[in-house]
Amino acid sequence: MKPILNIEGLSKHYGSLTAVDGLNLSVEQGQVYGILGPNGSGKTTTLGMVMDIIRPDAGTYNWFGGINVREARKRIGTLLETPNFYPYMNGVQNLKVVAHIKKTKSPDIDGLLEMVDLHQRKAAPFHTYSLGMKQRLAIAAAMVGNPDALIFDEPTNGLDPEGIAEVRDLIVRIAEQGKTIIMASHILDEVEKICSHVAIIKKGQLLATGSVGAIMDSDITIEVAAEDLEALKYILKDDDKISAVQSIGTDKLSISLDDDYGTAYINALAFRHNITLTHLVMKQKKLETEFLEITRNAAPKQY
C-alpha cells in the first residue's frame, strides 16, 4: 500500500483552546478514510493544516510519501467546509480558474459538470445556484485534473435528504474509480455508508482508528444465561473468538464476539460443553453506540 497522507503529532492552539492535540494519522492509497468527530472536534482544522491554509503549532505531515507540498496539492481535490467560488462567474468559468491553477491541460469541464448533473446550469452565475448545486460544483472542482486524492469536509452539510443521497452516491462513484478519499463528518451513518476506514477524534485527540468493519462490527454483543452461569462464563472466557465477557446483574452474561460468528456459534459451544442456554439474544451494536462509547472513553483504541 502506498502512503497518501502521514500526520505526526499535529497540534493547533487558538489561545487557550487546543483545537488539535498531537494528532497521528496515516491514510493509504485507495482508502475512503472517514474522520469522524462531534462538532468542534478539530476535523476542519486538521484538514486545513494539511492543506497549508492553517499554520500548525507543532507536528508534521507529508503527502504521497514526502513530495513538495505545493506540487502535492495540485494532485489533491479539496472541498473544505464550504464551496468557495467567485459568485459572479458561472460554473464553467469557475472550473476554468481551478484548471488554470492546477495547470491542467485541456480539462474536461463539460464532462465534470455532467458528472455532478450541473450541465443545465453551467452558464448561470455561481451566486444563483442552490446550496446543493454549489456543493456539487465543489465536487466537480475537486475532480479537475484527475487528482489522486480528494478531501471532502462535511460534503453533505445543509443538504436535504435527496441532496444528501445524491452527494453520497457521487462520492461512492468517485471512490470506485480507485481514488483515495478523506472525508470529515460528524454523521456516523455517512461514515458507515461511505468509508472503508475511520479515525474517531474528539477535542482534537485521536480516540480510535481502523477499518470501519473492525470498529463497527467487532463488538457484536450477545446476551446469554444458563443454570450454571459460572461454568458458562468459564468456557466462554476460554474461547479465542470471544473478546470479552461481562456479567449483567447476577443471572446474565454479555459477551463481545468477532462478527463472523453469531448466536449459533455460542449455542454450539455451550452444547459441546453440556450447558443448556436459558437465554440467547444477539444485540448488534450500532456504530452510534460505539461512537458514543468511544468518544466518552478517553484512552485511544486500536482496532
Partner 1 sequence: MLHLLQLEWLKMRHYRPFKVIMALYMVLLPLCFLSFKTSFDFPREFDIDSLFIFPNIWLYMGYAGNWLSFLFLGFLAILLIVREFSYKTARQNIMTGMSRREFIGGKMIFMLAVSVAATLYYTLLVLAFGFFNTDYIVMQRVTEQMYYIPRFCLMSFGYMCFAFLIGLWIRRTGLAILFYLTYTIILEPLLRLLTYTRIFPKSKISDYYPLNAIEDLVHFFSDARLQALMSSKNTPFSLQALPGWEAVLFSTFYIALFIFLSFWLMARRDL
Ligand X SMILES: Nc1ncnc2c1ncn2[C@@H]1O[C@H](COP(=O)(O)OP(=O)(O)OP(=O)(O)O)[C@@H](O)[C@H]1O
How far is it, in rounded angstroms, from Cα 213 to Cα 252? 27
Binding track over 168-187 against ligand X, x by CB under 6 A = ------------------x-
How far is it, in rounded angstroms, from Cα 152 to Cα 141? 12
Question: Is 272 within 8 Å of 230 (Cβ atoms)?
Answer: no
Q: Which of 16, 70, 177, 302 binds partner 1 (CB under 8 A)?
A: 70
| Residue 147 lies near ligand X (rule: CB under 6 A) | no
CA distance between the termini of the chain: 18
**218 contact, one of Mg ion, ligand X, partner 1, none, CB 5-8 Å limit per kind:** none
| Residue whose entry in the numeric block shows the C-alpha cell 488554470 | 100
Q: Which of 6, 11, 45, 295 binds ligand X (CB under 6 A)?
A: 45
Instruction: Return the C-alpha cell found at 219.
Output: 463488538
| Residue 36 lies near ligand X (rule: CB under 6 A) | no
Phi, psi of 10 (to 5 degrees): -70, 130
Q: What residues have CB less than 8 Å from 246, skipping those under 6 apart?
A: 253, 254, 255
Q: Which of 43, 102, 134, 202 binds ligand X (CB under 6 A)?
A: 43
Q: Which of 6, 31, 44, 295 binds ligand X (CB under 6 A)?
A: 44
How far is it, in rounded angstroms, from Cα 178 to Cα 155? 19
Q: Which of 100, 241, 279, 283 binds partner 1 (CB under 8 A)?
A: 100
**96 contact, one of ligand X, Mg ion, partner 1, none, CB 5-8 Å limit per kind:** partner 1
Q: In terms of residues, how long is the chain? A: 303
Which residues contact partner 1 (rule: CB under 8 A)? 48, 51-55, 70-71, 73-74, 76, 78, 80, 82, 84-89, 93, 96-98, 100-103, 141
Q: List residues binding ligand X (CB under 6 A).
A: 14, 17, 19, 37, 39-45, 154, 186
